[in-house]
Chain A
Amino acid sequence: DTAVSQTPKYLVTQMGNDKSIKCEQNLGHDTMYWYKQDSKKFLKIMFSYNNKELIINETVPNRFSPKSPDKAHLNLHINSLELGDSAVYFCASSDPGQGRYEQYFGPGTRLTVT
């Protein structure tokens, strides 16, 4: 039973295209996240949703738009893809009630823009 799953695992596309990455968690968590990991493994938070409400929206180009249809799903849509968007994107979830701050990660989506 996969706790946090993402699709697709690999995504290769050309500049200017629009693409989406989907994320689902079956942990019953209220909070979900999107991270970007660059080639040096640095992790950057992009967005966070709590019960379908956007609570963290870091400085990210507005070409990136998250959507949370319900608290178990958080999708990421990217418009007009650029070379610099190439990275690994991770979805994560957490249950921060009672001070439990740890996050659980999906396997990642490796996006390559050519």
Chain B
Amino acid sequence: GNSVTQMEGPVTLSEEAFLTINCTYTATGYPSLFWYVQYPGEGLQLLLKATKADDKGSNKGFEATYRKETTSFHLEKGSVQVSDSAVYFCALGYSNYQLIWGAGTKLIIKP
């Protein structure tokens, strides 16, 4: 069946460090892929998406590339800030009515 696997957290980095949060998926067909961010005490916000192989989604300095050959959608940012501290979710969309969610990765950025 369809599934999403994210790296376990928490991930702790210093400000201005390079960030990678790994996400791999299992799916039949051609799903869309998403990254969501959840800041403390808030709902989930769509951060970026990609709808087909080799697409790169980007927003707020974050990027992720849809790699069909490695079934991956890793989230990257070149220089993180304290304000990026949040929980990040990778998700897979394969039907009209459901997303398959990863377990979330908590990111802590220290000044």
Residue numbers in A under 8 Å from B43 (CB-CB): 4, 90, 105-108
Say whether A48 contacts B98, CB under 8 Å. yes
Partner of B38 from the list A40, A41, A97 (CB cut-off 8 Å) is A41
**When A and B form their complex, what is the total count of cross-chain residue pairs whose Cβ atoms lie within 8 Å?**
57
A96 at the interface (CB under 8 A from B): yes
A96 to B99, CA, bound (A): 11
B55 shortest CB reach to chain A, Å: 13
A52 to B59, CA, bound (A): 33
Say whether B42 contacts A102, CB under 8 Å. no
Partner of B51 from the list A40, A94, A99 (CB cut-off 8 Å) is A99
A2 to B45, CA, bound (A): 13
Most A C-beta atoms less than 10 A away, residue of B34, B36, B44, B87: B44
A4 to B89, CA, bound (A): 19
Contacting chain A: which of B19-27, B64-72, B100-108? B100-108
A40 to B38, CA, bound (A): 13
Say whether A41 contacts B44, CB under 8 Å. no
Residue numbers in A under 8 Å from B45 (CB-CB): 105
A4 to B108, CA, bound (A): 27
What 1/0 mask marks residues of chain B from 52 to 95 whose CB sits below 8 Å from any chain A CB?
00000000000000000000000000000000000101000111
Q: Interface residue count for B (Cβ, 8 Å)? A: 24
Partner of B96 from the list A4, A42, A96, A105 (CB cut-off 8 Å) is A96
A43 to B66, CA, bound (A): 23
Interface of A is mostly: strand
Say whether A42 contacts B97, CB under 8 Å. no
What 1/0 mask marks residues of chain A from 66 to 108 whose CB sits below 8 Å from any chain B CB?
0000000000000000000000001010101101011111111
Given contacts A42-B104, A101-B32, A102-B49, whether A90 and B97 have CB atoms under 8 Å apart is no
Say whether B42 contacts A108, CB under 8 Å. yes
Binding site for A on B (CB under 8 A): 32, 34, 36, 38, 42-46, 49, 51, 87, 89, 93-99, 101, 103-104, 106
Closest 4 CB pairs of A and B: A101-B93, A96-B96, A105-B43, A105-B44
